[in-house]
Amino acid sequence: MSLTCQVQVILDNISREKAEAVKKALEPDNVDFPEGLGLCVENVDSKLVFNFESKKNMKQLTNTVDEVMEHIQVALKVIERC
């Protein structure tokens, strides 16, 4: 039996400029993901949508979501100061 878990995180009411800046800030982290783990980031209207998926390790998925959320928080703080 194969288990797949998907998590979606939505940042609502974010400008296109901030959304693009956050996406670009996260790009270096979105390479060489472990096998069975994936992340897709897209702009939808005034939202930035993060779709995480794991086909293997659920703990790895939760750790990845937590890490990405930390990086988003740092990126938004830096953007706010500019």
> Which tokens sit at 58?
């659920």
The tens place of each residue's pLDDT in the chain, 82 residues long, gives 578 999 999 999 999 999 999 999 888 766 777 888 999 999 999 999 999 999 988 899 999 999 999 999 999 999 888 7
- What angle (nearest 5°) sits at the alpha carbon of residue 27, between those of residues 25 and 31? 150
Domains annotated for the chain, with CATH where assigned, are: 5-81 (3.30.310.50)
Q: pTM for the whole thing?
A: 0.87
pLDDT value, residue 40: 92
Distance (Å, whole) CA 69 – CA 82 = 20
Q: Rounded distance, CA 67 to CA 22, Å? A: 14
